[in-house]
């Protein structure tokens, strides 16, 4: 009797497992069928390449830890066995300069994927350094309707993968209560003289100088007043120098994500967005034209647009793409817009950078001008 019952139970378990397996296999087959032939070709190419070389900027995507987890999920999804070869690179602009140099001298690229913001991707387009790809033919998730911006960059030089709100980072032990800046004017208080850091590429300032935001005249005046406050220059992610108290604040950062990642380690780091302007700095991924493993690079970009990819981006990078429904970034931006209804607002995308370029808005000239004022160079 017992034996019969046991067999029966075992049979039920087996039947259930078989059913799950069949349903799973069916769903997977359906998902695979949903993939375009172009994507299948990229997957096959990535399988053959087997490696993804990454020369990375700061700790975006959670650096090596986060990227390893993302690649692992990507391998599981596409049945690939791509291995990560991570090397710490420099800032966006410094990496860009290096990659352009490699491209122009006919060398293989140091990386299979390039991470950058709008201006960097535009430079990649102009110099031919970035590969032109029909991303819409590869990405599994359809483009959302009525999105705030186009996710594929002009001429297919990469895709937007995340967006982050730019602001001021501060040390919560040194900057408390009413001292927490709500305006860019707040950092000009005499008590902060020599205690403010900015980036060596003066990010934030030259973008705000665009005519649709605060304008060149306003920003030139502001930077001239800011200069005595500046005690040093650190990259967007060198928040260890803010956490240690070496600097009380960093104006501007490249996005709120870095502060969130630091906070996870328990560091006394806070982030605030000034009321004058809300800048949503969109970051993009592209594949260098001279990449050694272009298919692995493309697949990595494509994976970021899956729901799973976006969740992992939020988990490790503290950002996701605002245009997708239910994204964390969308909610954050809506909150800020509600808080500062009079603030100027801007999505910084490659399309916008290209339009400014065509209209003769010389963002790079602003940058050089502000560098001259702040760094004397």
Q: By CB under 8 A, name the binding residues for other proteins.
A: 53, 55, 57-59, 63-65, 68, 84-91, 93-94, 97-98, 100-102, 104-108, 110-111, 123, 194-195, 197, 199-201, 231-235, 237-241, 243-247, 258, 262, 265-267, 364, 367-368, 371, 375-377
Q: At its nearest, how many Å lie between other proteins and the CB of residue 146?
A: 36
The dihedral sign for the CA sequence 84, 89, 93, 97: negative
Cα→Cα distances 195→84, 186, 238, 281, Å: 39, 13, 15, 25
Instruction: Name which of 18 and 72 has its Cβ closer to other proteins.
Output: 72
Least distance (Å) from other proteins to the CB of residue 170? 14
CA distance 305 to 61: 14
**Least separation in angstroms between CB 333 and other proteins:** 25
In the 3-class helix/strand/coil scheme, how is 328-372 assigned residue by residue?
HHHHHHHHHHHHCCCCEEEEECHHHHHHHHHHCCCHHHHHHHHHH
Question: What is the C-alpha to C-alpha distance for residues 151 and 121, in angstroms, rounded to an integer?
Answer: 13
Q: Which is nearer to other proteins, 117 or 310 (CB)?
A: 117
Sign of CA dihedral 236, 242, 246, 252: positive
- Cα 351 to Cα 357: distance, rounded to the nearest angstrom: 10
H or E stretch at 85: strand 83-88
Distance in Å, CB of 95 to other proteins, minimum? 9
CB of 232 to other proteins, least distance (A): 5
For other proteins, which is the closer residue by CB, 191 or 217?
A: 191
- Cβ closer to other proteins: 74 or 99? 99
The nearest distance, CB 258 to other proteins, in angstroms, is 8
**220 versus 263: smaller Cβ distance to other proteins:** 263
Q: How far is CA 292 from CA 54, 109, 115, 170, in A?
A: 11, 7, 16, 40
Supply the minimum distance, in Å, between the C-beta of residue 328 and other proteins: 23
Q: Are 304 and 142 in contact (CB under 8 A)?
A: no
Pick the closer one to other proteins by CB: 84 or 143.
84
3-state secondary structure 24-78: HHHHHHHHHHHCCHHHHHHHHHHHHHCEEEEEECCCHHHHHHHHHHHHHHHHHHH
Tell me if 141 sits within 8 A of 306, measured CB to CB.
Answer: yes
> Residue 147 Cβ, how far from other proteins at the closest point, in Å?
31
- Which of 216, 322 has the CB closer to other proteins? 216
Q: Which is nearer to other proteins, 70 or 321 (CB)?
A: 70
Closest CA to 226 of 171, 267, 274: 274
Select 111 or 153, whichever has its Cβ closest to other proteins.
Answer: 111
Question: 281: closest CA among 162, 124, 201?
Answer: 162
Per DSSP, helices labelled H in the chain are 2-34, 37-49, 63-78, 92-104, 118-127, 205-208, 216-226, 240-243, 256-264, 294-303, 307-312, 328-339, 350-359, 363-375
Min. distance of Cβ 72 from other proteins in angstroms?
A: 13
Report the C-alpha gap between 296 and 294 in whole angstroms: 6
Report, in Å, the least distance between residue 303 CB and other proteins: 20
Name the residue nearer to other proteins (CB basis): 138 or 242.
242
């Amino acid at each position: 009797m017992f034996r019969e019952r046991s067999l029966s139970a075992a049979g039920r378990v087996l039947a259930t497992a078989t059913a799950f397996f069949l349903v799973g296999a069916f769903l997977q087959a359906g998902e695979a069928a949903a993939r375009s032939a172009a994507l299948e070709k990229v997957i096959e190419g990535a399988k053959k390449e087997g490696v993804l070389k990454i020369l990375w900027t700061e700790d975006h995507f959670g650096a090596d830890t986060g990227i390893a987890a993302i690649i692992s999920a990507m391998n599981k999804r596409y049945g690939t066995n791509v291995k990560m070869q991570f090397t710490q690179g420099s800032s966006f602009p410094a990496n860009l300069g290096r990659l352009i140099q490699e491209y122009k001298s006919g060398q293989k690229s140091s990386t299979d994927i390039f991470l950058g913001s709008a201006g960097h991707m535009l430079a990649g387009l102009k110099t031919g350094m970035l590969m032109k790809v029909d991303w819409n033919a590869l990405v599994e998730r359809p483009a959302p309707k009525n999105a705030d911006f186009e996710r594929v960059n002009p001429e297919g030089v990469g895709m937007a993968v995340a967006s982050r709100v730019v602001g001021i980072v501060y040390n919560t032990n040194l900057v408390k209560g009413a001292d927490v800046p709500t305006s860019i004017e707040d950092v000009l208080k005499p008590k902060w003289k020599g205690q403010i850091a900015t980036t060596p590429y003066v990010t934030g300032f030259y973008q705000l100088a665009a005519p649709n935001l605060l304008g060149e005249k306003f920003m030139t005046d502001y930077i001239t007043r800011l200069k005595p406050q500046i005690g040093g220059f650190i990259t967007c992610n060198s928040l260890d120098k803010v956490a240690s108290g070496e600097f009380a604040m960093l104006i501007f950062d490249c996005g709120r994500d870095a502060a969130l990642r630091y906070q996870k380690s328990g560091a006394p780091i806070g982030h605030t967005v000034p009321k004058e302007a809300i800048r949503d700095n969109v970051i993009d991924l592209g594949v260098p034209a001279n990449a050694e493993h272009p298919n692995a690079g493309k697949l990595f970009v494509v994976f970021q647009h899956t729901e799973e990819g976006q969740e992992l981006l939020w988990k490790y990078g503290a950002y996701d793409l605002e245009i997708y429904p239910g994204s964390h970034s969308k909610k954050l931006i809506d909150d800020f817009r509600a808080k500062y209804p009079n603030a100027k607002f801007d999505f910084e995308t490659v399309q916008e950078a290209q339009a400014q370029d065509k209209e003769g808005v010389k963002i790079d000239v602003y940058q050089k001008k502000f560098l001259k004022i702040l760094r004397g160079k």
